[in-house]
Amino acid sequence: MIALTKLNVAEKYGLATELGFVGGASGATGALDVNNLSGRTLNSVLASDADPFSFALPLGCLLSSCSELVPLGLMGGVRIQITTAAIADYIQQHTTANLPTITFEDLELNFDLVSFGAGMDGVVASMANAEGDILMKSQGWNVNNINTSASAGGTQDLIFNTRLSSIKSLIYQGSGSYQTNWGDDRPAGYGAAQVAGATGSTQFFVASTPFPPTPLRESNQAAIMSELRQAQGSFPANSIT
């Protein structure tokens, strides 16, 4: 969701190979569709068929989001853990065939390593506080889930009990099993839905302060997309939208 909403159509078209939209053993597999640059079309639904392809994606984590270089030489160890989602959450089916088997092979972790020499280690170590910790500024995502009834109506107050020192942006994505009730079998986990219905509105309260001051109307998709881009830093917060 973060990558696809921060890239425009031209950027996603240019990065089609890296995103896995095209390419593979059989050539230009998965023809591009400018009306839906958000995924890849698999060759076949037969269990005996294989559709291998490669992709290269940035890992959005605390290390890659640090505002300064990370002193790996002074750290005891670093682990990057990747957890895959359920196949039904990101595979869209138009048939009644079973879900395909997804296998990840030959995974590589690429990163830039800068060496300043042993003489710089003492300078970096001197930046530690009294407890021996080096404080670094980074940012990440805190994800909370809550279930709502399919028959919910009227005003609904959804409480996410989360304590954070600061919040840069807040995004509410309506998805999950709600999507499986749609007739076109959209993926349940990554399809955005109108969380308050076609004629409803949504508003957030953080420490009793409303954001935005005026509720977002679901019928005004242009305003919601503008708020989404502002939340992700696509343009300054003081822009007139």
The half-sphere exposure of 207 on its side-chain side, counting CA atoms within 13 A, is 5
The model carries a pTM of 0.66
Output the pLDDT for position 179. 46
Q: How confident is the model at residue 240 (pLDDT cuts 50, 70, 90)?
A: very low
Output the pLDDT for position 169. 83
* Segment 113-165, tens digit of pLDDT: 888 888 888 888 888 888 888 888 887 778 887 777 766 667 778 888 888 87
What's the whole-number mean pLDDT along residues 88-103? 67
Cα–Cα dist 33/123, whole Å: 52
Output the pLDDT for position 40. 78
**DSSP secondary structure, 186-237, as one string:** --TTT--B-TT-TT-EEEEEETTEEEEEEEEETT-HHHHHHHHHHHTTSS-T
Closest CA to 231 of 186, 148, 171: 171
The half-sphere exposure of 19 on its side-chain side, counting CA atoms within 13 A, is 19
* Segment 100-114, tens digit of pLDDT: 778 888 888 888 888
* Segment 34-90, tens digit of pLDDT: 776 777 777 655 556 677 888 888 887 888 888 888 888 788 788 888 888 777 667
Output the pLDDT for position 27. 46
Q: How confident is the model at residue 239 (pLDDT cuts 50, 70, 90)?
A: very low
Closest CA to 60 of 169, 165, 139: 139
* Segment 180-208, tens digit of pLDDT: 444 455 555 566 677 777 788 888 888 88
pLDDT at residue 228 is higher than 70: yes
Please, which residues have CB within 8 angstroms of residue 127's CB and are 6 or more apart in sequence? 134
Across the chain, which distance is largest between two alpha carbons, in Å?
65
**In the chain, what are the domain boundaries?**
141-146+156-241
Output the pLDDT for position 187. 56
Element (H, E) at 38: none
Q: Is 114 exposed, middle or buried (0-12, 13-18, 19+ CB in 10 A)?
A: exposed
Phi, psi dihedrals of residue 119, rounded to the nearest 5°: -65, -25
